[in-house]
Amino acid sequence: MVASAHMSIVTAEVARGKRIMACTPPTGAIPDAAITAMMLAGTVEIYVLGGVQTMAAKALGTETMARVDMLVGPT
């Protein structure tokens, strides 16, 4: 999870994303190391969401998640 966080978030940072958010699948407790890696890499928002619905939520937005301009990294 730590490597995936860095691959996704650092890519968004290099692309100069204005608002960087990350999603992690709902597989129990999120490891502290993954949360730390996401925050240190520049994540502003973290959502517990996985699967194809994550891609749709990011692309289209939801009532609680604003849509994004670009999707990067592993899903």
Compute the average pLDDT of residues 69-73: 79
**Whole-angstrom Cα distance, residue 53 to residue 3?**
22
pLDDT of 72 reads 76
Helix/strand/coil (H, E, C) string of 16-27? CCCCCEEEECCC
For residue 1, what pLDDT band results from cuts at 50, 70 and 90? low
> pLDDT per residue over 49-69, tens digit each?
888 999 999 999 999 999 998
Buried b (16+ CB within 10 A) or exposed e, 23-35: bbeeeeeeeeebb
- Give the residue ranges of DSSP H helices in the chain: 2-14, 32-41, 52-60
pTM of the model: 0.79
Compute the average pLDDT of residues 6-35: 84
Average pLDDT of the chain? 85
